[in-house]
Each structure stands twice: as C-alpha cells, then as structure tokens.
C-alpha cells in the first residue's frame, strides 16, 4: 500500500481543539460539512488549500493531544487527507484514527517541508520525498493495513468477524 501526496506541515503539540474547534461540536454533526472547518483557528485557509486524496499532513511530536474528541480524526479523513505523518501521536487520537480507518505513520518528520511531495510505502516502511530524502519507519502489521483498507474497525468486524452492526 502506497500513499502519495503533497505535504501540509504543522508543528509539535497540535491539539484536537486546533484540528476542529469545540464551538462546532454540537452544531454540525455531518462530518463532511464539519471538515470544512479543519484547522480553522490556526490555519484559516487550510480546507481551501487541500487537494482531496492527494494531501498528507506532516507534524512534529504529540499530534492530536488534548480531548478525546472523535471528530478530530474524522474531519481529517472526511476532508480527503490520505494520512498523517508525525514524530508521535497522542494515544487516544491514535486509537480513534485507526478505529475510523485514518492512516497514521510515526516517523522523523524533520527533513520534510511544506509543499514537498512524498510517497509513503506502508509495506516497506519508507517515506520518499521529491527532494530525494528517504525516511524509514516501522512497517505496518496486517491488522493496521486492514483497518485502513476496510475504512475502520466496524467494517473490519463486519467482514472478518461476522458482526452485524447497524
């Protein structure tokens, strides 16, 4: 599995309130609509800059810190972001992301810059940039690959465990 896209670079400690502001928590329940406000408080034009299914968020340490708001990974996915590559993730954000099928990669992102084009090879554990840099990360196990392929834990359970989720 290979994901290719343009880098949108963020710093360390990006919290869930910056990903999606709490002021929308109850007023907008449609995740596609809510995704239009992604990073609104720290990068107001972010949603307009995105190229659906050709964009990758790259960040530093502790991406997704703060509340356990499930909307945070969901709006990233609904906006058409292919994956998030960061030095580290907050644990609850990491779990919520994989539960909905959003790909997260932990790697040293210091050599990546805004507007780079990168290729993330999940099988080999290699990120290659258009500037010639190569970053290694731990290749994914089959379970994580299937969670993303099936678009989340509910679809995974339906397919492989015979669960009937309504």
Tell me if the pTM is above 0.95. Answer: no
Average pLDDT over residues 149-159: 88
Secondary element (H or E) of residue 4: strand 2-9
Instruction: Name the residue ranges covered by the structural domains of the chain.
Output: 2-161
Residues 34 and 76: their CA atoms lie apart, in Å, by 10
Kindly list the strands in the beta sheet with 103-106, ordered across the sheet, starting from the edge strand earlier in the chain. 103-106, 81-86, 55-59, 2-9, 117-121, 126-129, 134-136
32: CB partners within 8 A, 6+ apart = 78
pLDDT tens by residue, 76-90? 999 999 999 999 999
pLDDT tens by residue, 17-70? 999 998 887 788 899 999 999 999 999 999 999 999 999 999 999 999 988 778
The fold of 2-161 is Aconitase; domain 4 (3.20.19)
Residue 49 half-sphere exposure, CB side, CA atoms within 13 Å? Answer: 18
């Amino acid at each position: 599995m290979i994901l290719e896209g343009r880098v949108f670079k963020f710093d360390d400690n990006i919290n869930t309130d910056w990903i999606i502001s709490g002021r929308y928590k109850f007023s907008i329940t449609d995740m596609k609509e809510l995704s239009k406000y992604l990073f609104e408080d720290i990068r107001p034009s972010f949603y307009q800059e995105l190229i659906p299914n050709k964009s990758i968020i790259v960040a530093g340490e502790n991406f997704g810190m703060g509340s356990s708001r499930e909307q945070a990974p969901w709006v990233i996915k609904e906006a058409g972001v292919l994956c998030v590559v960061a030095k580290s993730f907050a644990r609850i954000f990491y779990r919520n992301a994989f539960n909905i099928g959003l790909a997260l990669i932990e790697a040293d992102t210091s050599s990546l810059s805004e507007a780079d084009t990168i290729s993330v090879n999940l099988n080999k554990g290699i990120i290659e940039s258009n500037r010639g840099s190569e970053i290694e990360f731990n290749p994914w196990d089959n379970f994580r690959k299937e969670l993303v392929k099936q678009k989340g834990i509910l679809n995974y359970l339906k397919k492989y465990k015979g669960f009937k989720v309504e």
